[in-house]
Amino acid sequence: MDINELMKKMNEVMDNLDFVSARKIMEENMKIINENRHLLRSNARSLLQILKDNTEPHIKPLNRNEMSVVHAINAYASKFDVRGLRMSIKSNSVLLMRKDIKQYLNEDAKTLLIGMKAIHIDE
């Protein structure tokens, strides 16, 4: 497939909000798209950046138990249940030290955990 055709198809798919197809196209042609990202629209470039960040070899995805802990933390934070939140933090402190944990937390959890100094602010 020609580079211009690929970029045109990528932009069309993103305009139609077909993120599954966009991700599939990007993963299959990551090197070509990354070299020519200047031809993509901003929403496609954002998706490309997310895919690049999440496919780095040193970051491993959360397992089922870790996802359930994150879900519990988000639920406690949404209900403003500080006691439950502290218990979750205390027993899962290693999970909160991961650099990619913030993408799994909702805004309530981020705010409360930063205030409790359980996670750090990365600027």
Instruction: Say yes or no to pLDDT of 106 above 70.
Output: yes
104-109 contact pairs (CB < 8 A, 24+): 104/62, 104/67, 104/70, 105/70, 105/73, 105/74, 105/77, 106/74, 106/77, 106/78, 108/74, 108/77, 108/78, 108/80, 109/73, 109/74, 109/76, 109/77, 109/78, 109/85
pLDDT digits (tens, 9 = 90+) for 20-68: 888 888 888 888 888 888 888 888 888 888 777 766 666 677 889 999 9
Q: Is residue 98 very low, low, confident or very high in pLDDT (cuts 50, 70, 90)?
A: confident
> Higher-confidence residue: 75 or 52?
75
> Higher-confidence residue: 122 or 63?
63
What average pLDDT does this structure show over 106-111? 93
pLDDT of residue 84: 93
pLDDT of residue 83: 94
pLDDT of residue 10: 84
